[in-house]
Amino acid sequence: MNYRMCFWAINIFSSLIRLLIIGKIGLTIDEAHYFTYTKYLSLSYFDHPPLIAYLIKASNFIFPNIEFAVRFPAVLIFFLSSWILYICAKKLYNEKTAFVSVLLLNVLPVFSFLGAAVAVPDSPLALFWLLSLLTFIKVIETSKGKFWYLFGICTGFAMLSKYNAVFLPISAILFLLFSKKHRFWIAKIEPYLAILVSFIIFLPVILWNIQNNWASFGFQLDHGFGSSIPKFSFDLLAKAIGAQAGYISPLLFLIFLVAVFLCLKDIFKKKDRSSLLIACFSIPILFLFNFIATFHEILPHWPIMGYLVLSIYVANLTLKFWNIKWFKIYSYLSWTLAVIMVVIVPLHILYGIVPIKKFLPKEQIENVKHGICEAERIDITNEVYGWQDVGNEIKKILDSYPQDNKPFIFTYKSYLASELQYCIPDLRVFCISDSPNAYNFWQQDLKNFKNKDGLFICNDFFFANPQDRYGNQAFASYEEIKILPIYRNDVKIKNFFFTLCKSFNPLKLPEEYSKSYTSKKNNIFKELRRYDYVVFRFINGSLKCKILDFFMAPISYCDSKDFNVSFFVILIISLLILWQTKKDTFWTNFALLASILAVTSLIVYFMKNYFEKPRPLSVFGSESVNTLYEQLHRNALPSGHTEMAVAVCMFMFIQVKKYWYLYIFFGIFSGFYRIYAGSHFASDVFVGACIGVFFAYIIVELFKKHIKYSL
């Protein structure tokens, strides 16, 4: 059987089916929210990193249909993800396992439908998660350092997709710790440079958080871990596992559970490398989120990347046990159920084929509210219907007003605001809410609507009376609520409520509602400077003690006499190590090290005189800075002491890996001492260290590549 050809046939066919469907279904709540991101392009967002927004924006330039444009990236990404999964599985096992892995991916509901046809941040996360796995496999296969940089790039883009990608470097480190054969990478520079590369790619998100008081990080930590004291709950854990089983398909979920234990068994009994790779890139995220589920509610898709990688092992397990009769029967049943789930969801969305009423108790069937029965309220597929009717109603109301005096449109729930934005993409929707949300950062101009009328919109699911929420001060008066019923197949599925609120006064909003227009963005450079000062105060003030003074004072005294004793100690120790380990090439290494120090010192000299950055004594004054002997006031950036010490340590790290831990200690100590002694800020030390690391690495690599002398 030509598995490669079968793979391409399935991948192309399934993608074409999705392309035929995605433009015919209205957007879900989450998709509408990510579509709204594109109206406010930014370095990052309150809820998520920015990559999903830029993918949708790029697609929107090409395709006029909003639904198709929003979902096209998901279809394309799933196509590419399937290809990368195939390659990974082939490298870990064989081509047959690779084919079954992709086949499995196409029958798992969470990937085949939710991840492949619905626009969510998990789609690009899956692609870059698999690319990270593939580049790491190349590192293990070839032992070539260049693949570490590709791993860093893929990890960086995964982090731009979703914060869950923080598990990727953890997974790589775990593999190196458990694999004795590959543990040597811990003492090499490439893994650390890979982390630096991913950090640089992720830097826009960090800058956005600095600018906005770490809002996104704070929200996600609270959202993920909760803010109350952890208390074990079996019900929460059972609910989380049940929801994950529904996403995976219940019968297949049991195979995944067994696969975790058998994978660990292969690691400890057979020392199997492929099992170790799969376990390191899947089990940590599965374990952590299910551990959190014991005390805090999680969403079932949070640990889903673990199931993505584990699907490779499940495919291998399926082929391994295929000749066992009971397992073959169980596999047929479980795969059939999964296929039914994958097919039935889009069919129900399009045609409403599932008779939900038949599965409800009689009392629930008879429970009718606002003309809507319980079966329609719990049918989540109804959320994609009715938005065109809502958009037409809004335009009808606005057309009855003069062009220069139309009411602004608002609601109180961020996700509802995004759905309204989706149905009227050419207009603007506001969210005046008492809880933090993305709109807090998008509507700084809300105060400009003073004395304007507002059109408040809500529905059955997110219902609120605006008068109860905002009172008679924020708005002078409220007109009668108007109801717009929404029908699907001649059955009423929900209501939308429209209330005209007269003469808005934003200054009279309660404090918790006014954050959206009173909160101001921080200046990034001022915030970085503030954090720089905080770090200095901590090291120079809070950590000050007699024991550290005892060790630091002699060094500072020598520095005050223009003798950098710490550098010479590091240099002498390094030369002794070179003499003991590389006696044949000692003078070549000595000359190369001298060249590195000369180049970096020259760069530092010019930077100091160009920037003329003040030192802590000039900023805070002598009474606020704990100095030992050295009294310096100017030319702080970068730290020359740190640069020289780190340059030597970096050179030794590359050339003599045996004592790598010693070089790391010396490098960190040199920077710490300059802050503790009151001579530099953390930023000066950081820039000096970067210069030392970068030029030492570049010069050594250029020497190895272009000079024939052996090192």
pLDDT in tens, 676-707: 999 999 999 999 999 999 999 999 988 887 77
Tokens, residue 506: 């934003």
The angle subtended at Cα 438 by Cα 434 and Cα 441, nearest 5°, is 90
Q: In whole angstroms, give the CA distance from residue 507 to residue 434.
A: 15
Alpha carbon separation from 620 to 536, 553, 612, 625 (Å, rounded) = 11, 21, 16, 7
pLDDT at 709: 56
Asked if the model's pLDDT at residue 593 lies above 90, the reply is yes
Query: Mapped to the 3 state alphabet, what secondary structure does 668-688 carry?
Result: HHHHHHHHHCCCCCHHHHHHH
Asked if the model's pLDDT at residue 711 lies above 70, the reply is no
Q: In whole angstroms, give the CA distance from residue 70 to residue 54.
A: 11
Label residues 27-50 b or e (16+ Cβ within 10 Å = b). Answer: bbbbbbbbbbbbeeebbbbbbbbb
Q: Please give the residue that has the higher pLDDT: either 360 or 665.
A: 665
Q: In whole angstroms, give the CA distance from residue 103 to residue 108.
A: 9
Could you tell me the residue ranges of all domains in the chain?
A: 3-205+229-346, 385-518, 536-706
Supply the DSSP string of 463-478, one letter for each residue: ---HHHHHHHHHEEEE
Q: In whole angstroms, give the CA distance from residue 23 to residue 27.
A: 9
pLDDT at 704: 82
pLDDT at 518: 62
Please identify which residue in the block is written with the tokens 């045609």.
Answer: 351
Q: In whole angstroms, give the CA distance from residue 132 to residue 155.
A: 6
Confidence band of 148 (pLDDT split at 50, 70, 90): very high
State the pTM of this model. Answer: 0.90
Confidence band of 525 (pLDDT split at 50, 70, 90): confident
**Do residues 190 and 184 make contact, with C-beta atoms less than 8 angstroms apart?**
no
Taking each helix axis as running N to C, give the angle between helix 273-280 and helix 167-178, from 0 to 180 degrees, rounded to the nearest 10: 150
Alpha carbon separation from 103 to 311, 322, 340, 417 (Å, rounded) = 10, 15, 15, 38
Q: In whole angstroms, give the CA distance from residue 115 to residue 14.
A: 13
Instruction: State the chain's mean pLDDT as an integer.
Output: 92
Nearest Cα residue to 396 out of 324, 311, 482: 482
Alpha carbon separation from 64 to 22, 35, 119, 354, 398 (Å, rounded) = 13, 13, 16, 32, 24
Cis amide linkage into residue 121, ω under 30° from 0? no
pLDDT at 710: 60
Question: How many percent of the chain have pLDDT more than 70?
Answer: 98
**Do residues 423 and 437 make contact, with C-beta atoms less than 8 angstroms apart?**
no
pLDDT in tens, 65-105: 999 999 999 999 999 999 999 999 999 999 999 999 999 99
